[in-house]
């Protein structure tokens, strides 16, 4: 089983949302249908980045790293935004 750390970009406010899941397709659909409390007011989204992890713990750890100042700087460089 794989786990994903992902970054969504809101088409409404251009801000990022960082999360993790074990089913990226399903989770992305939930975000865009307004079924995720943290993002339901910022519809709609596009996936701009994701990483595949071999463990749940690894995905959660990477999510936390990307939410730091260093992680956001990494994403900014990586995504050229």
Task: Give me the residue spans of the domains in the chain.
Answer: 3-79
The pLDDT score that the predictor gives to residue 80 is 81
Tens digit of pLDDT for each residue in 30-59?
999 999 999 999 999 999 999 999 999 999
Q: Got the DSSP string for 3-67? A: EEEEEEEETTT--EEEEEES-HHHHHHHHHTT-STTTTTS--EEEEEEEEESSHHHHHHHHHHHT
Question: What sign results for the dihedral spanned by CA atoms 60, 63, 69, 70?
Answer: positive
Architecture of domain 3-79: 3-Layer(aba) Sandwich (3.40)
């Amino acid at each position: 089983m794989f786990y994903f750390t992902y970054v969504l970009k809101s088409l409404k406010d251009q801000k990022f949302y960082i999360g993790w899941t074990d089913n990226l397709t399903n989770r992305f659909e939930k975000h865009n249908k307004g079924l995720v409390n943290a993002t339901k007011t910022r519809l709609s989204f596009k996936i701009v980045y994701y990483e595949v992890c071999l463990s749940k713990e690894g995905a959660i750890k990477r999510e936390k790293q990307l939410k730091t100042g260093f992680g956001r700087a990494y994403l900014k460089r990586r995504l050229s935004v």
